[in-house]
Structure 1
């Protein structure tokens, strides 16, 4: 884990993102929308690893892209170093992008197969005209390759000549090229073998210490999240359920959904596997037509009438934030 300070680097303020469902044309009445992110407010401290967890389709990746302004919010805004990035003009945003980068999930799809390693890693350097000469650019690329564990003599090789783990290292080197402050790691190890996952996680940890990086780590693998993160934010159907320090979340989860997620993690001890564990029942509600009140109420065994009628407000409890009427 890292050593975060008390300075807020990036903040989401009442972020909402809705995607129109194609069909019917712009004159169609009662358009349907997907409620991907619904009134989310979070703060990420400088130097920390802040993890977003939840089931597939809960809005994790959409929130990550909103924080980088890769997509525009329906409402709300994002503050980076106390600056509202949603108000920036295109040339201002171009400068801001030097400070924020992303590592994608699929190392096979995230890098251009027609480019060699030199061009792939140098792409952000040439786009922002960091160096005046090709020699300086090549020297920087070779240095970045060494940092991520790729031999510099492979600089002219193409992606098909590397394994999945090596390709992800190339993607990490590209994200590091402009010396950003924030890196969004969008499930960076989920497509890799378990043995390679640990290598990449250790690499990310070492790079964070060396370059004073801040990570937004998006994942559905709670064992990975517990290993690498300082704080955890649990999402369900576009809403934040619970946010707190990693150990607090894992040792004493307060929101019922968080409890179910942690209880579903496979246990390596064969004797503990026989313990009776509560597992979630039923299907996830549709993000097109989310339930009234608490969005988890249709799957929650503890739901009361108030849960079906009134949306819970985020409250402070046991050194964390939790949105649940029962807490």
Structure 2
């Protein structure tokens, strides 16, 4: 399906998020002028090195963090300038699944109360009994047995706790769920179960995911499109198959080359490795933020920041696309 025929669910334009450091005139530039579109029903994966701004971008998109500048439009409504009262009915349609399933669940609350909390906050059910019935339905949907209704988080495994977190996220029947590295804290054997659950729920409820991660094998399984970030900037956005087959941006190429090889005969093959230190988000380099680590950098890269341009059904921000073989 072409992008022109797909329905836009959320769109960010020039989105920036800075954090003050406490020193006069100094700030951490976590997200810098991001343009991003998420289409209804898709899974858009957000990948990049630790500290590149992935989680900050995800939280800023759904107003868990206030934007420094720029706009976010959700279902045609500009939400960044809304008051809390205006945003409240939209909040329920945007939810989040967190990375650490233990830290994100209140240890003093039972499973029933954890999942019921959003239902009670928005007065979804007309009685306590109706709320409990809905909680049991949600527990069944994510594969948590009904007899665990009154247990506490510490009585569950990591995978079960994440299922409870997912049940809480889908309780209000949202359109968009930001999944912030939802399987990175789980055993490998459990990761596939949770990923398959997310896919099943997406099909069942018509969900849209922004899936934040760093494991490119996981991303290859779950994503429809992939957005690559470096130091708060978007390097490339492309359909998964195209990005994995032929990345346009040098940074994407290095990321893909870093995937461990299962074939022992290929482990000794020459692999491209990035050199140099990651620039500080407090003092961003001039021009392209990647030029200090890029082996293809030119004088233009050091002085002029590349803009995100369309190349067919994908986008990339690099001066030299088409001039080098990546």
TM class by shorter-chain length? over 0.9
- Does the aligned pair in 2 maintain the 1:5–1:45 contact within 8 Å? no
- State the 1:242 CA deviation: 0.4
Q: How does 1:1-327 map to 2 (within 5 A)?
A: 6-23=6-23, 28=24, 31-327=25-321
Could you tell me the TM-score, scaled by structure 1's length?
0.96
Q: Give ranges in structure 2 of 5+ residues lacking alignment.
A: 322-326
Could you tell me the TM-score, scaled by structure 2's length?
0.96
CA distance in 2, matches of 1:144, 1:168: 13
| Corresponding residue SS for 1:92 | helix
Deviations 1:196-242 (A, max 9, x none): 00000000000000000000000011110111000000000000000
CA distance in 2, matches of 1:162, 1:57: 30
CA distance in 2, matches of 1:51, 1:6: 17
- Does the aligned pair in 2 maintain the 1:14–1:76 contact within 8 Å? yes
- State the 1:319 CA deviation: 2.9
| Corresponding residue SS for 1:225 | helix
Deviations 1:8-55 (A, max 9, x none): 0001111011110024xxxx4xx2100100000000000000000000
- Does the aligned pair in 2 maintain the 1:5–1:47 contact within 8 Å? no
- Please give the root-mean-square deviation of Cα atoms over the aligned residues, in Å: 1.1
User: After TM superposition, what 4+ stretches of structure 1 lie above 3 angstroms from structure 2?
Assistant: none
- State the 1:313 CA deviation: 1.5
CA distance in 1, matches of 2:150, 2:35: 44
